[in-house]
Structure 1
Amino acid sequence: MIAPPCESPFAGRVVFVLGSRRCGTTWLAEMLLAHPEIGGMDATVVLPDNRVPNESVIFGAVVDLWRNACRSDAEGLCDSLGFEGAVAAIRRFCDRMFVSARDRYSPGSTWFLEKTPDNAKRLPIVAAVYPDAWYVEIVRDGRDMARSLTSVHFGPDDVGEAAAEWTRDVIQVERHRWRVPRFRQVRYEDLLISAADTVADLYQWMGLNVDADVRKELDERAGRRVATYGSTDPVGSGKWREMSAEDITAVLTVAGDRLASLGYLDGEDVV
């Protein structure tokens, strides 16, 4: 059994969803929350015409504490607590926030799900604070991600910049996945084919029972549109083909190597 850095109400019962923006993290979180044992903040906020992501961004709040704990001169938190004590203090803070969120959004659940895309670039911090957690990374074709991210109001205008963000996040998780023993990677494209089966497999990996009621809830959520931001296009993959040749080249220049290593490129895909 993997031990947390301190006594915890969620020992071995936290799930982190990792992945870049516009790669399906919200959809995957919405699916995982179908299980009655998994609680946390609602994955989406329901608006009249959409469901938009709802995120804690909690590890953005503890970055300064982490930097203070990792000072090369050993001053700061480590001077009083030591490094292990500082990590335990951060864990207690996060657990307290998670308990409050659990009790507000899903009282009665025993697990907690945390999904914030920025966690991908903070994986060393997250892994140190939650070594006992379960980590699920969702990966999407970076060309589709770049097209999607540049189409929403909070994304960059340049597809190359969007592709660079995707590449950074994928590399960051690859580089630090050794820190998290409980790790699985799923593809956005697999969710499109069979979201309910994919998530049911994740439940079983985590030791959670999948009964008829859970399957029914998974099936209902699988077709739920989330984070569309006004788009009426059908959900799907391969929409990058609608981009101009210039934009596709810009994406490949930045992300081509990583797309190839993940199996997203073949000879016909290169412009």
Structure 2
Amino acid sequence: MGSDRPVFVVGCPRSGTTMLQLMLHAHPRIAIPPETRFLLGAYTDRASFGDLREPANRRGLAEWITGTRTAFGDLGLDPDAVVEEIVTGPPTLGSALGTVFRAYARRFDKPRWGDKRPAYLNNLVPLLRLFPDAQIVNIVRDGRDCVASLGETPWQQGKDVCHAISDWARAMDSSAYARRILDEDSYHEVRYEHLVADPEPELRAICRFLGEEYDPAMAEPARLADVAVPSRKSWHRLTHEPVTTDRVGSWRERLEPWQITLCEAKLGSRLRERDYPLSGAGSPWWRGPGRVHHLHYAHVDGPRRTVAARRGLSRLRDRLRPVEELAYRPPSPRELLPG
């Protein structure tokens, strides 16, 4: 009998989180949905839903979760059934959200559930307030490959390359924070390059962390891509193909020399900490087209650091005032009865 702790896949965007989602979803006991995108919004706006001890307020929350402004439609669930299950379930925000994930797992006749979203890595405190016993799997990839891949996504079009560089820097800082606050039973890191080069030993290590038996189907995630990756997400097209090392180190061809120089100037210490050797390629930053971006980086990254500082103050305020009851509670046998 395996664990019933929820599983969350995190990482910098374009680190392989969707591939890892599919690998875990291939396990016979685990269901990890496509990005739901309602968890953090529900947490941020939790006051607007009112006291969840009132069934009417739980219904309002449930209708927001299952509404058209979230990605609930990608889950293939009956919204009316999910609304009723939330209304009759335990009166906490984590329980309402967990009800959706549990329903998704039932769709595949699996007992264990979780979620995947890169943004959770920078929001571990809210995640753990909602799911205190969560197990977090963080996938780490060479920052230069992440920057190159981010530059090809629809949501980065028109943005300065500094945004992608800052994304990876924040993700590595959040990873360091996770290692400080979480024990080895709650947090596990996997290296993208190792996972694609030889999936089985890395997946076995993840299964040991999760308290599950390894299943060979996990090494063939492309078989599930049609089921667990929405077709509209064209940037995930490679998940429909076999696991490959073709993209490892592809930053050498995909980034211009000045972009490589800028990446290594801004990410150098973090790359070295992760044993990603620097190339030293390109001209010094103060020469060529990269100099403007080098000076612009502080304007992009600075406000993001301010956001992180505000989150730190918010965490301190939470410690100084009574903590809301937010955590997920498994439904009682009575709450599981139809009607």
TM-score exceeds 0.5: yes
Report the Cα distance in structure 2 between the residues aligned to 1:152 and 1:262, rounded to whole angstroms.
25
Q: Deviations over 1:66-123 (max 9, x none)?
A: 6x59xxxxxx87xxxxxxxxxx82221221121222233x2x2111131011111111
Report the Cα distance in structure 2 between the residues aligned to 1:31 and 1:218, rounded to whole angstroms.
4
Report the Cα distance in structure 1 between the residues aligned to 2:43 and 2:8, rounded to whole angstroms.
17
Hey, what does 2:177 align to over in structure 1? 175
Hey, what does 2:28 align to over in structure 1? 36
Map of 1:189-208 to 2, 5 A cutoff?
A: 189-208=193-212
- Identical positions, percent: 27
1:165 and 2:167 aligned = yes
CA 1:221–1:176: 2 relative to 1, 3 Å: closer
Contact kept, 8 Å, 2:102 with 2:112, in 1: the verdict is: no
Unaligned 5+ residue runs, structure 1?
1-9, 42-53, 70-75, 78-87
Query: Which protein, 1 or 2, shows the higher relative CO under an 8 Å CA cutoff with sep ≥ 6?
Result: 1
CA 1:262–1:194: 2 relative to 1, 3 Å: same
Q: Which structure is higher in strand share?
A: 1
Map of 1:24-173 to 2, 5 A cutoff?
A: 24-41=16-33, 54-65=34-45, 68=47, 89-104=92-107, 106=108, 108-156=109-157, 157-173=159-175
Report the Cα distance in structure 2 between the residues aligned to 1:209 and 1:11, rounded to whole angstroms.
11
Hey, what does 2:213 align to over in structure 1? 209
Q: Deviations over 1:214-253 (max 9, x none)?
A: 21x1333379888655679973211111222211122123
Alignment length, in residue pairs? 228
Hey, what does 1:265 align to over in structure 2? 277
Report the Cα distance in structure 2 between the residues aligned to 1:31 and 1:230, rounded to whole angstroms.
16
Q: Tell me, what secondary structure is at the counterpart of 1:138?
A: strand
Report the Cα distance in structure 2 between the residues aligned to 1:183 and 1:249, rounded to whole angstroms.
32
Unaligned 5+ residue runs, structure 2?
52-90, 283-339
* Higher CA-based Rg: 2
CA 1:269–1:90: 2 relative to 1, 3 Å: farther
Report the Cα distance in structure 2 between the residues aligned to 1:89 and 1:255, rounded to whole angstroms.
40
Per-residue deviation, 1:137: 0.5
Q: Tell me, what secondary structure is at the counterpart of 1:218?
A: helix
Per-residue deviation, 1:205: 2.3
Aligned residue identity for 1:256: G
Hey, what does 2:335 align to over in structure 1? none
Q: Which structure is higher in helix share?
A: 2
Q: Deviations over 1:168-221 (max 9, x none)?
A: 1221231244443311111100012111321122112222123xxx21x13333
Q: Tell me, what secondary structure is at the counterpart of 2:39?
A: helix
Contact kept, 8 Å, 1:25 with 1:115, in 2: the verdict is: yes
Report the Cα distance in structure 2 between the residues aligned to 1:61 and 1:228, rounded to whole angstroms.
23
